Structure 1
């Protein structure tokens, strides 16, 4: 029996708005599913889909699972993401090589230092 990692699901108050934001961040293509969820598909070979699911409650605690982004230029990418509506957050990470940001609904994600 085989298994594939196909979707990373993200709870959202506004699936279309948050899905559009992440599509802009990642350059993924998005579509609304028949049941109103939003699925973002990466370029071929680019990893799993992101599936945004509508939930009635708001986020209240730190994520147990998060996305790491590895850009060519960390500082420029952090500036770009903040310009798109992300914000810096302190989850107790201290002084690290990565930067912790939150998307417009408060979901934390990390921008790692460029890899050689």
Structure 2
């Protein structure tokens, strides 16, 4: 196939702050930075990355696309990410959900799944 996923683009009001948040969450680094675009990734040659671009309008609805994270220890990772600036969110997932929904500092939802070793259980 002649196509591959390069990056996921995230609309942002404060590009540097949101890029720093996600860099800390993923233990990635800034691989490109300009006034109108910041790209983070594991390194310059590892794909995909996350690209943050400016938007004027605010977020009004639940994201139609979101990031899922798979930690080794869900509870510890949720607390670590909350310590970085995330907040818990209720999007109707219910008490039986095996994932935790959080929002980044600009309100974008993402999920912290149960540990990888139990995903196939």
TM-score norm. by structure 1 comes to 0.92
1:36 is displaced (CA, Å) by 2.5
The aligned residue for residue 71 of structure 1 is: 71
1:59 is displaced (CA, Å) by 0.6
Secondary structure at the residue paired with 1:23?
helix
Alignment partner of 1:97 is 2:95: no
Q: What is the alpha-carbon distance in structure 2 between the residues aligned to residue 109 and residue 17 of structure 1?
A: 17
TM-score norm. by structure 2 comes to 0.89
Pairing 1:50-65 to 2, within 5 Å after superposition: 50-65=50-65
Q: What is the alpha-carbon distance in structure 1 between the residues aligned to residue 49 and residue 36 of structure 2?
A: 16
Q: What is the alpha-carbon distance in structure 2 between the residues aligned to residue 73 and residue 43 of structure 1?
A: 24
Aligned residues: 115
Encode CA deviations 1:44-96: one digit per residue, 9 max, x unaligned: 88641100010001111000000000000000000001111100000011120
Q: Assess, with a 3 A threshold, how the Cα gap between structure 1 residues 64 and 82 changes in structure 2: closer, same or farther.
A: same
Q: What is the alpha-carbon distance in structure 2 between the residues aligned to residue 112 and residue 102 of structure 1?
A: 14
Secondary structure at the residue paired with 1:17?
helix
Q: What is the alpha-carbon distance in structure 2 between the residues aligned to residue 45 and residue 94 of structure 1?
A: 39
Secondary structure at the residue paired with 1:50?
strand
Q: Assess, with a 3 A threshold, how the Cα gap between structure 1 residues 19 and 44 changes in structure 2: closer, same or farther.
A: closer
Q: What is the alpha-carbon distance in structure 1 between the residues aligned to residue 45 and residue 68 of structure 2?
A: 17
**Structure 1: 5+ residue stretches without partners:** none
